[in-house]
Amino acid sequence: MDKNLIFQPLTFRHLTVKNRIFRSSVTGRWDNYDGSGTQARVNWENKFAKGGVGAIISSYVPISIEGRITPNVVTIDCDERIPFWQTVGETVRRYGCKYIIQLSHSGRQRDIEGIENTQTLKKGIKPLPAPSTTNQADQINGLPANNMSTAKVRAIIQDFAQAARRAKEANLDGIELHSSHGYLINQFLSSAINQRTDEYGGNLKNRYRFLQEIVGSIRQVVGDDFHLQAKISVREFNNIIPPWEKSGNTLQEAIQICQWLEDDGVDAIHVSRGSTFPHPLLPSGPFPYRMLRYTYDTMTSSGGKSSFRNLILFRYRFLWPLFQLIWGRLPRKIEASYQQPVSGLEIEAQWLDQYFREHVSTKEFQQLLNKHQGTVLRDAKEIKQNLKEIPLITTGGFQQASYINQAIAGEYTDGVSMARTLVANNDLVHQFQQGRDIAARPCTYCNECLGAYLELPLGCYSLDRFYQRSVANLTGMEREKATREAEEARTREVMTVFTPPPKPYIPAME
Ligand SMILES: Cc1cc2nc3c(=O)[nH]c(=O)nc-3n(C[C@H](O)[C@H](O)[C@H](O)COP(=O)(O)O)c2cc1C
Ligand code: SF4
């Protein structure tokens, strides 16, 4: 097989990307509270461009303050943000990397609403209900929702169009609509969430209308030749917590949505899954109890009705099996029966770092790959076969060159997007270019980065990847010392995002 399929350019209607690897969105909270961007964000994006990816899909970028999932992420809600985004685009373009901005609105699915989205009552400060397609709070954190008026629906469509205009004025290379993972557009699309009785609810055509009108309004503002793609959860698996909840859109419904998107002028589909974020099936892997035990307290000030319950569940280890009974239900059912459609080369011990292997053996790592790589690939092929010509990007666990090549060669997808696997190895694409099939210290899908995002700088927190020496024959104090060294190496790596530091300037005198 031609190993360099990864390095063939991918041509969309109005955009060519130099290879088949996209950095998938990974939200990190390192911007200012008001939604202005920081040097850390520029440094973060620079890492992946330098590491060789063909294109970067930004993290979740709110089109309005009300549409944030949390404060401290850069927005695109006003024209003052344009110069920042221009800087981000210029930074990554130096490496021939394209920059696609993910336009997003949280709807009811917020993590921390931020002071602007609260109301001050005598009995306390409470979150304002977020605009949605239902009055039901979100499944995980329980932040309140409001089935919004038609006038509000139209206003949000215009917010998307204005954000798109700013993206084009910032000279970015394209837009991705975050229509997956349970955020606002997904709240319209979903048969399980949408409870509207007007032209935006009910049958699939009506549920699609919001997305269709966003696409139409964006096209009116940016023209027909600006790259526009949509990330879609092609199966929703919505019945996570109470199993009696509806399971949401089926693959057949997703195929229809993607066909309409193609007819309505969208240039690519990014295939994902799940009607919430996080979801037991995406990012796949264990629930990060240890990390959330440390970080989840941040969520309790947000006032979601389930936040305090969750805090108790994560804080006390004896309750973890109880939560696992619920969270693990879908993976037990779905992952257990998943047949890999393609396979990469079998992992050889010498490909992996010797210290890493002391913590994750070659066999254990092979099993992790078998379980978590290409989890949405079969569905992606179904979508691809039902589209006329627009390319497909697929997310979900990719990190092995031979596997990605097989996926492209077998026409399961045209490109792949990678999130955690690039957080672990920012330069993985360069490593592929140099002939490596997998990184020596690969991502173990442990999800500690996901648990860290709320409170800590985003980065890889898996200690197994950071040992600096063998611990095989160490005991007691010596072993503790080696572990301490690993922790320090991990912290050093995470903190690299703050270099170079921002340059303070003196404000003008009034
Ligand atoms: C910490 C973290 C933050 C994420 N933030 C976003 C986001 O802002 N938007 C989005 O569409 N997906 C987000 N994702 C999902 C990823 O983009 C990706 O689809 C998913 O993690 C599967 O890819 P992977 O197995 O390579 O991580 C996030 C994932 C992680 C781990
Ligand atoms: S913490 Fe590191 S190893 Fe674990 S999933 Fe995240 S990137 Fe991968």
CA angle 35, 41, 47 (to 5 degrees): 165
Nearest CA to ligand 1 atom 28: 26
Give the closest ligand to the alpha carbon of residue 449: 2
Nearest CA to ligand 1 atom 22: 396
Residues 108 and 132 sit within 8 Å (Cβ to Cβ)? yes
Give the closest ligand to the alpha carbon of residue 26: 1
pLDDT of amino acid 3: 55
Domains of the chain: 3-465 (3.20.20.70)
Q: How far apart are CA 432 and CA 143, in angstroms?
A: 43
Paired residues of 393 in beta bridges: 270, 415
**Whole-model pTM?**
0.97
Q: What are the catalytic residues? A: 183
**Residues near ligand 2 with C-beta < 6 Å?**
420, 423-424, 443-449, 460-462, 465
pLDDT of amino acid 380: 98
**Nearest atom in ligand 2 to 461's CA:** 1
> Residue 479: which region, alpha, beta or left (left: phi > 0; alpha: psi -120 to 50)?
alpha
**Nearest atom in ligand 2 to 285's CA:** 5
Name the maximum alpha-carbon separation found in the chain: 68
Nearest CA to ligand 2 atom 8: 443
pLDDT of amino acid 302: 78
User: 174-179 and 227-233 as β-strands: parallel, antiparallel, unpaired?
Assistant: parallel
pLDDT < 70 regions, the chain = 1-3
pLDDT of amino acid 191: 98
Calculate how far, in angstroms, residue 449's C-alpha sits from the geometric centre of ligand 1: 10
H or E element, residue 395: none
Half-sphere exposure of 93 (CA within 13 A, CB side): 14
Pick the closest to residue 180 from 328, 284, 25 (CA basis): 25
Calculate how far, in angstroms, residue 103's C-alpha sits from the geometric centre of ligand 1: 14
Q: How far apart are CA 89 and CA 48, in angstroms?
A: 13
Calculate how far, in angstroms, residue 424's C-alpha sits from the geometric centre of ligand 2: 6
Residues 246 and 238 sit within 8 Å (Cβ to Cβ)? yes
Pick the closest to residue 141 from 121, 113, 105 (CA basis): 113
Pick the closest to residue 229 from 398, 507, 22 (CA basis): 22
pLDDT of amino acid 305: 86
Q: How far apart are CA 240 and CA 280, in angstroms?
A: 8
Residues 161 and 217 sit within 8 Å (Cβ to Cβ)? yes
**Residues near ligand 1 with C-beta < 6 Å?**
24-27, 59-60, 102, 178, 181, 231, 272, 282-283, 395-397, 418-421, 449-450, 453, 458
The string of pLDDT tens digits covering residues 226-254 is: 999 999 999 999 998 777 789 999 999 99
**Nearest atom in ligand 2 to 450's CA:** 6
